């Protein structure tokens, strides 16, 4: 078969059995977040490139190596979205939503990054994403983290996941820490990876999150940001921790958990697992008070997180049973004509109906068993004349004659 008839590398078809679990993850996130007042929105799958280049940082791996960028027919530089937050911030600004604050927004859908495909990482992947805009108080950090824990609990995967948190401090804290970190790292400048040598000039905090083994060894003895918190930053973090404790959300502090860009501040958090190999982050987020003003909007505090649907599906680890149908088995030409009409009536009552289509009663019953039907409705000329139908319950084996006017109630009870 031509490679052109295969999925593009890093993409995959999500077929019906897997899609039921996939959909279950999204529905669970939608349902739980609605209990916290989150409303669903959808932004375009592509944006002007500057939306992402500006917010993710020109020197970041995402912008430099992973974005799908193309020029459209009008000569504009367009990018398939690699994450949700920048597009939602753009929608907040261009939609003039400042007067609707506070806003709690949920989104889900596909994202695109040109990465090396591996378990838990595709070039087209999907996320659930949550943003709370307009609340500067630590209580919003506690609320979104506890909501993330609630979603994982509702999916039944909490026992496979741990929560790590850190504080990036406020602007004053970060500036002091940045200076101390650069002083420390300058002594190891020649030993850093090539990427981290660039980061040392532009974004030194990102070196703490480097995946390079040499970099990891160097940062083991690097100063901790907690040593440089202002009084306000220390109090904010203490309140977040006590808020989580009061809600029974267990966590550990990871002082190496960082976000490299300047608009991030205060709380950073990740729900991680050791059940998915190297792709261990399942949900991750934090506070980003400086993003919307950096993009040209009003000064707007914000906190949010995102989670990989494919990773949650892999953690979920079990199938969602398909809905079982009721099969109509008409006998004779007159009954065949009636079957389509009856199917329409029953479907409008919310009953999943499959038509037998062809073959004798024995073949149709065998086919009904093969599709794990919960019941069959069998009728011919005699039943039509008497305004009844035979209902066969496949689980109990019971077969009874039911009058047509009681058929809906009978099938709903089955």
Return the ∠ at Cα 164 (arms to 288 and 294), rounded to 5°. 10
What pTM did the predictor assign? 0.88
> Which tokens in the block code for residue 399?
């077969």
Return the ∠ at Cα 146 (arms to 251 and 106), rounded to 5°. 130
User: What is the C-alpha separation between 23 and 16, in angstroms, rounded?
Assistant: 10
User: What is the C-alpha separation between 304 and 106, in angstroms, rounded?
Assistant: 10
- In this structure, are strands 265-272 and 162-167 parallel, antiparallel, or unpaired? antiparallel
Q: What is the mean pLDDT of the chain?
A: 90
Q: Note the pLDDT tens digit of each residue in 380-403.
A: 998 999 999 999 999 999 999 999
Q: Note the pLDDT tens digit of each residue in 294-321.
A: 999 999 999 999 999 999 999 998 888 8
Q: Note the pLDDT tens digit of each residue in 367-381.
A: 998 899 999 999 999
Domains located in the chain, CATH noted: 3-170+230-316 (3.30.930.10), 326-413 (3.40.50.800)
What are the DSSP calls for 281-343, one per residue? Answer: EEEEEEE-TTHHHHTTS----EEEEEEEHHHHHHHH-SPPPPPPPEEEEE-SHHHHHHHHHHH
User: What is the C-alpha separation between 59 and 41, in angstroms, rounded?
Assistant: 30
User: What is the C-alpha separation between 184 and 222, in angstroms, rounded?
Assistant: 7
Residues in the chain: 414
Is 68:112 a contact under the CB 8 Å cutoff? yes
């Amino acid at each position: 078969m031509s490679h052109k008839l295969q999925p593009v590398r890093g993409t995959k078809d999500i077929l019906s059995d897997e899609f039921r679990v996939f959909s279950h993850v999204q529905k669970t996130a939608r349902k739980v977040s609605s209990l916290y007042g989150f409303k669903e929105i959808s932004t375009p799958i592509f944006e002007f490139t500057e939306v992402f280049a500006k917010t993710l940082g020109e020197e970041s791996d995402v912008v430099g190596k992973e974005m799908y960028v193309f020029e459209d027919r009008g000569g504009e530089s367009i990018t398939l979205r690699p994450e949700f937050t920048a597009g939602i911030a753009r929608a907040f600004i261009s939609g003039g939503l400042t007067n609707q604050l506070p806003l709690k927004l949920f989104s889900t859908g596909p994202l695109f990054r040109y990465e090396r495909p591996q378990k838990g990482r595709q070039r087209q992947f999907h996320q659930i994403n949550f943003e709370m805009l307009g609340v500067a108080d630590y209580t919003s950090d506690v609320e979104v983290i506890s909501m993330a824990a609630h979603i994982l609990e509702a999916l039944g995967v909490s026992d496979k996941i741990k929560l790590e948190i850190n504080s990036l401090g406020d602007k004053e804290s970060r500036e002091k820490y940045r200076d101390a970190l650069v002083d420390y790292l300058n002594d190891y400048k020649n030993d850093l990876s090539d990427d981290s040598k660039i980061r040392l000039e532009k974004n030194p905090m990102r070196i703490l999150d480097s995946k390079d083994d040499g970099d990891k060894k160097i940062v083991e003895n690097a100063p901790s940001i907690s040593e440089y918190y202002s009084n306000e930053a220390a109090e904010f973090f203490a309140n977040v921790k006590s808020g989580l404790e009061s809600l029974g959300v267990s966590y550990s502090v990871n002082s190496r958990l960082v976000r490299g860009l300047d608009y991030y501040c205060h709380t950073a958090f990740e729900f991680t697992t050791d059940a998915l190999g190297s792709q261990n982050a399942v949900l991750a987020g934090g506070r980003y008070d400086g993003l919307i003003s950096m993009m040209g909007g009003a000064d707007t505090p914000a906190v949010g997180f995102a989670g990989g649907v494919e990773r949650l599906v892999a953690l979920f680890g079990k199938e969602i049973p398909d809905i079982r149908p009721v099969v109509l088995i008409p006998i004779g030409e007159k009954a065949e004509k009636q079957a389509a009409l009856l199917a329409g009536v029953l479907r409008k009552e919310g009953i999943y109906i499959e038509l037998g289509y062809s073959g004798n009663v024995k073949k149709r019953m065998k086919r009904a068993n093969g599709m794990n039907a919960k019941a069959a409705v069998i009728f011919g000329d005699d039943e039509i004349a008497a305004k009844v139908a035979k209902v066969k319950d496949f689980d109990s084996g019971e077969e009874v004659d039911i009058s047509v006017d009681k058929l809906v109630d009978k099938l709903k009870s089955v």
